[in-house]
Every structure is written in structure tokens, then in C-alpha cells.
Amino acid sequence: MPNVTANGIQIEYESFGDTSNPALLLIMGLGAQMIVWDTEFCQQIADRGFHVIRFDNRDVGLTTHFDDAPTPNVMAAMMGDTSSASYKLSDMAADAAGLLDALRIPAAHIVGASMGGMIAQTFAIEHPDKTLSLCSIMSTTGDTAVGQPASEALELLISVPPQTVEEAADRAVLAAKVIGGKRYPIDEERVRARAAEGWNRNHDDVGMARQLVAIMASGDRTLGLREVTVPTLVIHGVDDPLVTPSGGEATAKAIPGAELLNLEGMGHDLPMPLWPRIVDAIVENTQKATAST
């Protein structure tokens, strides 16, 4: 896969579709590499007439890791002391903006999931000239009164990380059962294969902790979201225990004219049977941007 230098780091990315089509940037969540945006999902969007780009955020996958940064103190951050943060979501949004600049793309449709949704929101607030439309999936505003995880999801988030590829595969299956929706069966073989691929590409527990502290250090985006003017779609699973649905509701409420799509049977995941509906909704939102120009 190619990489570029942007915002002072090396960013690994991959693209799908004709580069002459409108760009659509996919931003993934906490500790998740770009391959969590399934190749088939990316291709389905590309087939609708988009140049789709997925990439590794800083501190995951093959993008630059901040190994020399201070050790992140997650427990202190959860208690309100975020002084161990090496960066914030603004820096991660600047990475995404820098990637577009490096690819000579003046503006794109921005789609983010979970922490990626937080980055996408920050991108729309801080880089409005590069934002054609916004889609925030299973995410929240940063207001600690909304979107907080259920106890079983929080336990999974802060549990001891896996130490081998086999443990990583087991953890991925457990995570799918704990935070995924209950309506759609889990394809354990597929989950295990993707976890193994991710482990073999790169695994960095401390990098994930730096991202988690960055989230907590970035604060509440509600006031900034009120200034977002591009067409916005908020997608949330009704059964999401990791970022509970009030996070999506607050996001849609904060952004003028935003559409909220609550999906029954979806948890903190992107179930394959829902891909057609999700892709349709994303494409429809991008068309609003086209219609307004």
C-alpha cells in the first residue's frame, strides 16, 4: 500500500475507484487499522461513483507511531487528568487534512466511525473548506453526559491487551459478541482472519492508549458542531453498548439540519447485511452537497 508524508508524519493509505470521482475519506476508530473498513464495503461505495480513501490513523497500523512520546496514563485521564496526552483529535484531523493535501484533493466527503466519527466531526469544524459532507457513525460529541459505555463494554475497553495473534483473534470474537448487535450472526472465521491480519500488520497497545487519552483530552465539540453547515448524516446502532445511542442523538441535535439514522439490530459494528442501507444513506447525504452547489 502507498504512503505519504503529511502533517509531519508518514500516513499509510489505500484507495478504491476512479481518482477523477469525488473523494470520500473513511476514518476508522480507536486502535483500529484501516482494514477494519472492509474492502468489500469500500468497493461498494466506490462502485457508486466515488474515489474512496481509507488510511491508518497515527499510532496504529503502518502510519507513524509516537513511540518516543510520554507514557499515556489512561486511568488518570478517566479521572480528569489528561496531562499525559501526546496529541488531541485536532492533530488527528490535521493528519487527515494533510493526507488530502498530499493527494492533491481539495475537499472530500468525510465519513468516520467511533473515534473516527469524533475525528470526522473535528475535521468538519476545523477544516470546513475541505469538507463536502459529513457522516458520523456510532460516535458522540465529547460531552461526557452522553454516549457513555455500558459496564461490560467499558471492561472490555480497559482490559489487559492480547499478547499473541491467537489471543488477538479470541479477543476480537469476544468483542464482537460484547459490543456488536445481537440480530445478525457473527462470522467468527471472518472476525478471526481480520484480527490476525491486523496483528501481523502491526500491534501497538501503547499507541491505542495514546489515542484513548487523546479522546479524553479533546473535550466537548457541541459548540463547534453548531457551526457545521455541510450536509450531515449521523448513523447509530440502537443496540450500541460502547458508544450508547444518546451520543448519536446529541451529535445530530448539535449539527443544524443533520439527519439521524438509528439502525435496529446494530451495535458498535457494521454488520454486513446492513451495508446496502448504510451505503445508500451515505450516498444520499453526499448528493445533498452536490445539490446545494
* Predicted local distance difference test score (pLDDT) of residue 157: 80
* Predicted local distance difference test score (pLDDT) of residue 156: 85
How far apart are the C-alpha atoms of 121 and 114, rounded to whole Å? 11
Average pLDDT over residues 91-105: 98
N residues, the chain: 293
Greatest pairwise CA separation for the chain in angstroms: 51
Beta-bridged to residue 11, according to DSSP, are 4
Query: Is pLDDT of 293 > 60?
Result: no
* Predicted local distance difference test score (pLDDT) of residue 134: 98
Give tens-digit pLDDT for 45-56.
999 999 999 999
Average pLDDT over residues 69-84: 95
Average pLDDT over residues 21-29: 98
Residue 219: Cβ-neighbour burial (10 angstroms; 0-12, 13-18, 19+):
middle
Average pLDDT over residues 61-69: 97
* Predicted local distance difference test score (pLDDT) of residue 87: 98
For residue 209, what pLDDT band results from cuts at 50, 70 and 90? very high
How far apart are the C-alpha atoms of 139 and 126, rounded to whole Å? 18
In the chain, % helix, strand, coil (3-state, to 5) comes to 45, 15, 40
Give tens-digit pLDDT for 170-199.
999 999 999 999 899 999 999 999 999 999
Residues 179, 242: contact at Cβ < 8 Å? yes
Average pLDDT over residues 197-202: 96
How far apart are the C-alpha atoms of 28 and 120, rounded to whole Å? 10
Average pLDDT over residues 59-79: 96
Q: At what angle do helices 188-201 and 165-179 cross, to 10 degrees?
A: 130
Beta-bridged to residue 77, according to DSSP, are none
Query: Is pLDDT of 290 > 80?
Result: no
pTM over 0.85: yes
Ordered structural domains, the chain, with CATH: 3-291 (3.40.50.1820)
For residue 1, what pLDDT band results from cuts at 50, 70 and 90? confident
Query: Is pLDDT of 292 > 70?
Result: no
Average pLDDT over the chain reads 96
Query: Is pLDDT of 38 > 70?
Result: yes
* Predicted local distance difference test score (pLDDT) of residue 291: 75
Average pLDDT over residues 279-292: 92
Give tens-digit pLDDT for 108-135.
999 999 999 999 999 999 999 999 999 9
Give whole-number Cα distances, 268 to 88, 153, 177, 273, in Å.
Answer: 23, 10, 10, 14
